[in-house]
Amino acid sequence: MTSVMTQTDLAETADTSAVPAQPAEHSKMAARGVNVFYGEKQAIRDVSIDVDMENVTAFIGPSGCGKSTFLRTLNRMNDTVASARVEGEITLDGENIYDKSMDVVQLRARVGMVFQKPNPFPKSIYENVAYGPRIHGLARAKGDMDQIVERSLRRAGLWEEVKDRLADSGTALSGGQQQRLCIARAIAVDPEVILMDEPCSALDPIATAKIEELIHELRGRYAIVIVTHNMQQAARVSQRTAFFHLGTLVEYGETDQIFTAPRQERTKDYITGRYG
Amino acid sequence: MATGHEHTVKAFDEDIKHLRALISQMGGLAEEAITDAMTALQRNDTALAKEVRAKDKAIDAIESEVEKLAVRVIALRAPMADDLREVVAALKIAAVIERIGDYAKNIAKRVPMVHTPDTGRIEAISLLPAMAQMAGDMVHDVLDAFASRDAEAAIRVSERDNRLDDFYDSIFRTLVTYMVENPRTVSEVAHLLFVAKNIERIGDHATNVAEMVYFAATGQYLADRDTDTAEN
Amino acid sequence: MSELVSPLSDRAPTDWKTDAMQRRIRKRYRAERRFRLIGMSAVVISAAFLFFLLATMIGNGAAGFMRTEVSLPIDFKSAPLEVDRGQLGTRGADLALAGAGLENRVQTAATAAFGEKGEELIAENAWTAVRDAIKEDPNLLSQSAHIWVPASSELDAAADGGGEPEFRTIVQQLRERGALQSGFNAAFLSRADSTDPTSVGIWGALKGSMLTMLVTLLIAFPIGVLSAVYLEEYAPKNRWTDLIEVSINNLAAVPSIIFGLLGLAVFLGTLGLPRSAPIVGGLTLALMIMPVIVIAGRNAIKAVPPSIRDAALGIGASRIQVVFHHVIPLALPGILTGTIIGMARALGETAPLLLIGMRAFIVTPPGGVFDPATVLPVQIFLWSDEVSRGFIEKTSAAIIVLLAFLLAMNALAIYLRNKFETRW
């Protein structure tokens, strides 16, 4: 930086340095010029962002800013809403996921999702984890399935707690355990990307800490994107942070830079609690 | 949208204001200490010197209060971005001002040692107040810059340190020459040398504060900027 | 008016102990007590009605399950019956025995035993009891034996304490001789309709009801559930689906006799299906209860939380998999409830079935769904029309059978529903 910027110089310009420098093919998932409409209302405005394997990406922003909506475009969950319309390009390993040739069912196995309120199926723990691999034909013999279930539960940090009661109902677990079960369920289909939509907002601090530690362990093996309204969590858990506001991407950068010296006034106002 | 740059939680604004007020108060006391110490030195006012030394305790007390408040703000408010930088800067600035106060106290301590019954008045003493004024102004200006988060002003203060250093060099030469010419006053003039050194150190500390003010305002380190400009 | 008070200024703290407050409390307690009392009275009144119904039915119908029998001395030794013994083990036995004039022999034996009124004492088809006894033990044809035969309806009535005085005396006499007994009428449950109230049975109507219910269930349940699934999960939300939804809701309220007319016109007229057959009855009733199943099914499916759907979609389940692996199992209790309600209604329907001809006098129970049959409610209706006194208790007995069938059906459905009830 050769020019000195004082507080008063931080204007509300769009942070053009946040536009991804690398071409879309080199990131795990890349969005370019994405617009999302619900009927006539525009929810997401011209968003371009990259998600890579090595870094956990966090989306932060006030309520209604579109971060969850944008997250759901990454695995085409918005398709379930009749009035939703997505424009722009979103690629996974270079392939456009909204192309007609992309099978949305397989896409959702490759790009898994964990939701805000833990939602295990009302089946046994084993069945919860085994359901995904079963419907995608990932296990040939029963021995294979047992292995997949154990591996997924181990990676989710739940194996030790449930290995003796795999036949118990998934809904009988505590909130934190249920969420880890949902993560295990998502992992079981061997995804490449895991999307997490406020995964800890319904959990107590200890369960939250366990999930955050889990995210840290999963980093690198899966590309992880986490939406959170808890800024401290975004700061703890992610390496890249994107700040959304009113449907636009205001700033995207390294997490420590965003939280110690954000470039945009709006970002600063939001993270210091001067918003609203 | 942001409304008037006030925190949504008003108590947070109160805490930050209090922190700034404490720094400002501390700075005022430190400036006063410098001025009073120099006055005591010139007029050989031992009573004033004693007062300066006593008032240093007040500066120390405020420093410990700043420390407590800063830790509390970090624990309870989880400050981010510029709030975080400001709290960290305030913590460090308080420590620096406390040391400036200590230097002023040290000057006051040397007052009786400079003025002994047999030496009579030493003319060299008259050189020092100007230098002390310069240092005192630097402290004053840099604390103003902190209060108004003005990075430009902080840079200007740090640039003045060169002039202060030059001033110190010339006073040093003058005092040494005087010592050589008036060997009977060697011990007293030696104390004056220390006084000059203290004032030069005060200037250096003011520069440290300027760097912290720059960091708090912009999030960047002045040293990095110096290397940039040096390369250019 | 007093000056406007700023909303933030202090107002006097509420005094909760004033008389006005105490009165409010008492009024509230009174209202709650009143409400509880009303609720309990409603329950008690309903229970009283139910008790009254059951008591009347059982009181009237219990007798219908009993049968009076008379011990008839019959002598084949002195006057052998001319019948080919070889035929007795085969299917031609009935015909052979009938052809040998067994009926006349029985009547003469009755007159011989009980006097000139003897014939009136035994039932018209009492000879079939003798026939069945002979079939069981052909040695009877060379013996003289006492065979228990069903008593006539007049004697039956007299044995129960009613009837005409002369019959009552005869009952007395026969009892003293040990020639009269009352026993459980197993034949009631295994025989079909007849003109003689003593030998009438409910089995024909029961079988007809079972077959009709089976047809109804097999048609209405799959179509109803699949329609509900389609309407909730797949149909686009536009005006056409709204129209369908309104139509289905209205269909549920259409009087059942209209469905009878529909059945008459379409199934009997256009399609030419056999009249009075369970297939037609089943089809008609299926049309009638399908809206109930669709509505209950839709509500049950709507109640499945979207989080389960999201979870399934999120790991890459296709829409069909979401519906069949997750939504339907969770909606099943609600669907079954709707089915129970529908089937219970279908079981008790009379009007539409009358229109499609299931009111005929059917003597043999239906063999399959294409044979003519009748159903329990229609049978009850027909018997209640009969003049003969013996039919009163039979009608009540039939009502008891109907209620028992209904209870059994409901119990099965509730058991199934509880089995599928999972908590989410």
- Complete DSSP assignment for C358-406: TTS---SPPSSTTS----HHHHHHHHHH--STHHHHHHHHHHHHHHHHH
Q: Determine which of B203-212, C5-14, C286-295 has the lowest per-residue pLDDT on average.
A: C5-14
A11 vs B: CB within 8 A: no
* Residue A77 at interface with chain C, using a CB cutoff of 8 Å: yes
Residues facing residue A169 across a β-bridge: A124
Tokens of B68: 């407590």
Q: What are the C-alpha distances in Å from B63 to residues B95, B108, B203, C25, C62?
A: 7, 20, 19, 61, 101
Q: Is A14's pLDDT higher than 80?
A: no
Share of chain B above pLDDT 90, in %: 63
What is each CA distance from A195 to A68, A203, B127, in whole angstroms? 10, 18, 71
The closest of C368, C177, A258 to A266, measured between CA atoms, is A258
Q: Which two tokens stand for residue A104?
A: 């949305």
- Cβ separation A135–C317 shorter than 8 A: yes
B81 interfaces chain A, CB cutoff of 8 Å:
yes
pLDDT at A212 over 90: yes
Q: Which pLDDT does position A6 carry in this prediction?
A: 42
Interface test with A, best of B146, B218, B221, B228 (most A CBs within 10 A): B218
Chains C and B touch (3+ CB pairs under 8 A): no
Q: Say whether the C–A interface has 3 or more Cβ pairs within 8 Å.
A: yes
Q: Indicate if the pLDDT at residue C33 is higher than 90.
A: yes
What Cα–Cα distance (Å) separates residue B5 from each residue in A245, B2, C79? 17, 6, 124
| Percent of chain A surpassing pLDDT 90 | 78
* pTM of the predicted model as reported, rounded to 2 decimal places: 0.79
pLDDT confidence of residue A19:
47
- Asked if A115 has any chain C CB less than 8 Å from its own CB, the reply is yes
Read off the pLDDT of each residue in A137-161 and give the average, rounded to a whole number.
Answer: 91
In this predicted structure, what is the pLDDT of residue A220? Answer: 86
Neighbours of chain A (3+ CB pairs under 8 A): B, C
Residue A266 has pLDDT above 50, yes or no: yes
Between C362 and C270, whose confidence is greater? C270
The pLDDT value given to residue A21:
52
Q: At what angle do helices B222-231 and B186-218 cross, to 10 degrees?
A: 90
Mean pLDDT of C402-413: 87
CA–CA dist C147, C127 (Å, integer) = 10
| Average pLDDT score over residue span A237-259 | 94
Please name the residue of chain A whose CA is at the shortest distance from the CA of residue C311. A119
Q: Which of A2, A266, A273 sits opposite B7 (nearest CB)?
A: A273
Whose CA is closest to B49, among B33, B32, B35, B37?
B37
Q: CB A115 to CB C314 under 8 A?
A: yes
What is the 3 state secondary structure string of C227-292? HHHHHHHHCCCCHHHHHHHHHHHHHCCCCHHHHHHHHHHHHHHHCCCCCCCHHHHHHHHHHHHHHH
Q: How many CB atoms lie within 10 A of CB C368?
A: 10
User: Chain A contacts of C304, Cβ < 8 Å?
Assistant: none
Whether B188 and B113 have beta carbons less than 8 Å apart is answered as: yes
* Cα(C310)–Cα(C323) distance, integer angstroms: 12
Interval B172-222: pLDDT, tens: 998 898 889 888 888 888 998 999 999 999 999 999 999 999 999 998 887
Q: Is B230 on the interface with A (CB under 8 A)?
A: no
Question: How big is the A-C interface in CB pairs under 8 Å?
Answer: 69
The string of pLDDT tens digits covering residues B139-149 is 999 999 999 99
Closest A-chain CA to C317: A105
Residue C157 has pLDDT above 80, yes or no: no
Chain C closest-CA separation from residue A198 CA (Å): 14
Environment class of C184 (CB within 10 Å of its CB; exposed 0-12, middle 13-18, buried 19+): exposed
Question: How far, in whole angstroms, is CA C250 from its chain's centroid?
Answer: 27
What is the rounded average pLDDT of the residues C288-295? Answer: 94
- List pLDDT tens digits, range B50-103: 999 999 999 999 999 999 999 999 999 889 888 999 999 999 999 999 999 999
Query: To the nearest whole percent, how much of chain C has pLDDT over 90?
Result: 29
pLDDT for position A259: 92
Among residues A151, A206, A207, the alpha carbon closest in space to that of A178 is found at A207
For residue A1, name the pLDDT band (cuts at 50, 70, 90): very low
Q: Which chains touch C (3 or more CB pairs under 8 A)?
A: A
Q: Where are the alpha helices (DSSP H) in chain B?
A: 10-43, 46-77, 81-109, 111-114, 128-148, 151-181, 186-218, 222-231
Q: Give the DSSP letter string of A131-150.
A: HHHHHHT--SSHHHHHHHHH
Interchain contact, C314 vs A171, CB within 8 Å: no
In contact, A60 and A234? CB cutoff 8 Å: yes
Instruction: Determine the distance in angstroms separating the CA of A28 from the nearest CA of chain C, rounded to an integer.
Output: 19
Taking 60 as the threshold, does the pLDDT of residue C21 lie above it?
yes
- Of A91-95, A192-196, C323-327, C408-412, where does mean pLDDT reach its minimum? C408-412
Report how far apart the first and last C-alpha atoms of chain C are (Å, whole number).
58
Question: Any residues with CB less than 8 A from the CB of A173 and at least 6 apart, and which?
Answer: A120, A125, A162, A181
Q: What average pLDDT does the structure give for chain C? A: 84
| pLDDT at residue C97 is higher than 90 | no
Question: Per the CB < 8 Å rule, is B81 touching A260?
Answer: yes
SS3 C15: coil
Which residues neighbour A257 within 8 Å (Cβ) at sequence distance 6 or greater? none
Closest chain A C-alpha to B228 CA, distance in angstroms: 7
Q: In chain A, which residue's Cα lies nearest the Cα of B11? A: A273
Residue A138: pLDDT above 50?
yes
- Amino acid letter, A147: Q
Q: Show which residues on chain C lie within 8 Å of chain A, measured between beta carbons.
A: 236-237, 305, 307-318, 321, 325-326, 330, 422-424
pLDDT tier at C335 (50, 70, 90 boundaries)?
Answer: very high
Q: State both tokens at C331.
A: 């909606």
pLDDT of residue C215: 93
